């Protein structure tokens, strides 16, 4: 993620998206079974951090 942010730009406060599983060498194996919700708002966090 940090590599996709331009020089001098701050990192975002929230990161949200799909998770990929990779091996020890960084090769893609599969997508994680759980997916983030299609719409995310402050209400999504009313019971704490949301982890999918």
Q: How far is the C-alpha of 8 from the C-alpha of 11, rounded, in Å?
A: 9
Please report, for the chain, how many H helices and E strands are present, in that order: 0, 2
pLDDT at 48: 79
Average pLDDT for residues 23-31, to the nearest whole number? 94
Average pLDDT for residues 26-41, to the nearest whole number? 86
For the chain, give every domain's residue range: 13-52
Q: Which of 42, 26, 24 is nearest to 16 (CA)?
A: 42
Reported pTM: 0.46
Mean pLDDT score across all residues of the chain = 81
Q: How far is the C-alpha of 19 from the C-alpha of 31, rounded, in Å?
A: 6
pLDDT at 1: 64
Beta-strand ranges (E) seen in 1-52 are 20-22, 28-31
């Amino acid at each position: 993620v940090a590599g996709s942010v331009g020089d001098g730009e701050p990192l975002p406060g929230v990161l949200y998206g799909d998770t990929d599983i990779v091996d020890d060498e960084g090769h893609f194996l599969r997508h994680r079974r759980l997916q983030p919700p299609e719409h995310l708002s402050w209400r999504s966090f009313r019971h704490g951090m949301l982890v999918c």
